[in-house]
Amino acid sequence: MPKVSIAVPVSPMGGIEPFLLKNLLNSCSKQSFQDYEIIISDHTASAMFYKMINKKNRKIKYFWNPNNLSNPQQNINNALLLSKGDFIKILFLDDMFHKKNSLQQIISQMIQTGKKWHVSGCYNYDMTNQESKNIIQKKEIVFFWVKILSDLLLLSH
């Protein structure tokens, strides 16, 4: 069983999905902390993300979730429920790890503090230019949960 599940609920994002998924997966593969699985919950009618993943990478577990397509919370719940790690880190399609030790730092803080959840900042990139590596602002909050089933279910109303 992996220490961490990286839950990735994916859905269409205006044609830049291959670019975003590639960046997300590359940032995961470069992490110094390697005891993880990646759970991809594809919330599209056509299973469009299946052809974008490397099927040889044993860390990636792909699940097609065509149910209730108008409800993104259901897809987040699906990704969380499929996660098997002691800890769960959610990365949305337009997220990525910025540093090689980002996941290690988050795990260390969770273990040291014994907290059920953790908030950390992340960088936003200029998505109007896909080749851009310019950091335009720090603003998003990324939540990190300990895997306790009763704490994972999100309200969908």
pLDDT of the chain, 157 residues: tens digit per residue? 778 999 999 988 888 888 889 999 999 999 999 999 999 999 988 888 998 888 889 999 999 988 888 888 899 999 999 999 988 899 999 888 888 999 998 888 888 888 766 666 655 555 555 444 444 433 333 344 444 333 444 433 3
What's the pLDDT score for residue 124?
A: 57
Which residue has 């800890």 as its token pair? 87
Cα separations in angstroms, 144 against 43, 128, 137, 149? 21, 28, 21, 14
φ/ψ of residue 147, rounded to 5: -75, 95
pTM: 0.77
What's the pLDDT score for residue 26?
A: 94
Q: CA 50 to CA 60: how far, in whole Å?
A: 11
* Domain boundaries along the sequence of the chain: 4-152
What's the pLDDT score for residue 127?
A: 54
Phi-psi region of 14 (alpha: psi -120 to 50; beta: other; left: phi over 0): left
Q: Would you state the torsion angle of the CA atoms of residues 88, 90, 75, 73, taken in this order, to the nearest 10 degrees? A: 100
DSSP structural state of residue 93:
T
Q: Which CATH superfamily is domain 4-152 in?
A: Spore Coat Polysaccharide Biosynthesis Protein SpsA; Chain A (3.90.550.10)
